[in-house]
Amino acid sequence: MKVDKPVALITGASRGIGRGVALELARTHQLVATYRDRKDAAESLAAATGASIFQCDIGVVADRANLLAFTKAKFGRLDLLVNNAGMAPRLRQDMLNATEESFDELINTNLKGPHFLTQAVAHWMLEQGSGRIAFVTSISAYTSSVNRADYCLSKAALSMSVALYAARLAEAGIKVFEIRPGIIRTDMISAVESVYEEKIANGLLPQRRMGETSDIAKAIRAIADGLLDYSTGQVINVDGGFHLRTL
């Protein structure tokens, strides 16, 4: 099948960061955009970008297999995978009281799903002889929040998944990157947005503003355009300087 544009697969693209990335990449790429629950939001994205939408629970092996089968049948190639799908805990709980059910759900969605989707995509890209992969993690990969330990653990492990795939695939010319967002204005933080805004105003971030989804999209754009191709395995902090240690 002849496709005039490169093809990008973005997981969790119907809302938040994923939607921002899709809106940016639609200028240059054919898109496959996944959603889990919000079909209305996914259909809105499709109308805005021309993306091919696909319902997928990234933590379910059959869904991942069906997603790749759909992408192969539709476009026959994959140039960029953006592992964005993820979730916060349904209930923030002190880690001394948090449940195994919440832990299992977050590990399944935030770690196992993208790790094994990348495994399958890596085989495909090895056959192609090229490709780029970006993981969207979080500052929670290294910042402890004792009321959502399960989330922090899932993101810390996902960060290692990036390093492992970058090392394994580098010789084949497949580049792998980690985008590490800070506090980004999405519906995931809507319940505590005012708290974050106050902390930012009081100096939490060197750059005194909350991040926007477009900030993440710009980092993905640099990856998609090959501007960072000699930087495989790089962690790109998009966090307003949160990672800086200052006295």
* pLDDT (0 to 100) of residue 87: 95
Q: What pLDDT score does 190 carry?
A: 84
Supply the pLDDT for residue 246: 86
Q: Which of 157, 142, 115 is nearest to 239 (CA)?
A: 142
Give the active site residues: 151
pLDDT tens-digit series, residues 143-188: 999 999 999 999 999 999 999 999 999 999 999 999 999 999 998 8
Query: Check: CATH 3.40.50.720 for 7-235?
Result: yes
Complete edge-to-edge strand list for the sheet that includes strand 7-10: 52-55, 30-35, 7-10, 80-83, 132-136, 175-181, 235-238
Residues of the chain with pLDDT under 50: none
Every domain of the chain and the residues it spans: 7-235
